[in-house]
């Protein structure tokens, strides 16, 4: 299989199902941002972190490929009138969302309570988590805009929302594990 096809040389690309759209289409921006997020999560996974977090990040990367496939699918060609998935695209399941919630609860049990927002940083690995969290929020914003115009399975949006929360809690956990200083954001008083 060749990597280059030359079919995109005129500024269009094909969705699953064959429909061609401009490369600047919101659908392409949505799944492209999910791909960017997946790469940042790979960067976090490549750091010296605990085995459980690595295992969960691999699972998340797999689920992000599913999110990308959902977003890359022409909705008119994806579902038959019977409601069945014509292109055999997997979906995000409730258990995928529940896994993120369970992992956040476990991590939070070992962390001091949050009393303020925290400034991103303190350690390179923690900073990678915060970058991934921000990219995840951008992916979510793009996906919600797409959803308003061309709806897809709602669990996809729920997953992206929960994932950004997970990445924030993971950043706090890694700050704790790495003994990095967590700097609280304390707004200046207005005089």
Instruction: Give tens-digit pLDDT for 10-46.
Output: 676 666 766 766 567 788 889 899 999 999 999 999 9
CA distances from 67 to 26, 42, 96, 105, 163 (A): 15, 16, 11, 23, 12
- Helix 154-177 crosses helix 124-149 at what angle (to 10 degrees)? 170
Every domain of the chain and the residues it spans? 20-75+91-180
pLDDT band at 80 (very low <50, low <70, confident <90, very high): very low
89 phi/psi in degrees, rounded to 5: -85, 130
Q: Would you state the pLDDT for residue 74?
A: 79
CA-angle at 85, arms to 15 and 5, nearest 5°: 25
Tokens 């967590």, residue?
182
Closest CA to 119 of 61, 67, 187: 187
32 phi/psi in degrees, rounded to 5: -65, -35
CA distances from 62 to 57, 58, 120, 148 (A): 9, 6, 26, 25
Q: Would you state the pLDDT for residue 82?
A: 47
pLDDT band at 6 (very low <50, low <70, confident <90, very high): low
Instruction: Say if CB 67 and CB 41 are below 8 A apart.
Output: no
- Domain 20-75+91-180, classified CATH 1.20.1200.10, yes or no: yes
H or E stretch covering 68:
helix 51-71
């Amino acid at each position: 299989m060749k990597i280059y096809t030359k079919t995109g040389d005129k500024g269009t690309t094909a969705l699953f199902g064959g429909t061609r759209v401009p490369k600047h289409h919101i659908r392409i921006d949505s799944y492209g941002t999910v791909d960017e997020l997946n790469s940042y999560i790979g960067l976090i996974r490549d750091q010296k972190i605990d085995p459980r977090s690595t295992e969960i990040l691999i699972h998340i990367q797999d689920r992000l490929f599913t999110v990308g496939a959902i977003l890359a699918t022409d909705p008119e060609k994806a579902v038959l009138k019977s409601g069945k998935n014509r292109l055999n695209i997997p979906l995000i399941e409730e258990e995928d969302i529940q896994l993120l919630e369970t992992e956040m609860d476990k991590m939070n049990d070992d962390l001091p309570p949050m009393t303020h927002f925290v400034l991103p940083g303190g350690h390179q690995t923690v900073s990678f988590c915060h970058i991934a969290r921000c990219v995840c929020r951008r992916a979510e914003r793009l996906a919600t805009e797409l959803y308003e115009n061309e709806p897809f399975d709602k669990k996809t949006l729920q997953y992206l929302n929960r994932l950004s929360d997970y990445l924030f809690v993971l950043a706090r956990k890694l700050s704790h594990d790495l003994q990095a200083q967590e700097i609280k954001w304390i707004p200046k008083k207005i005089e």
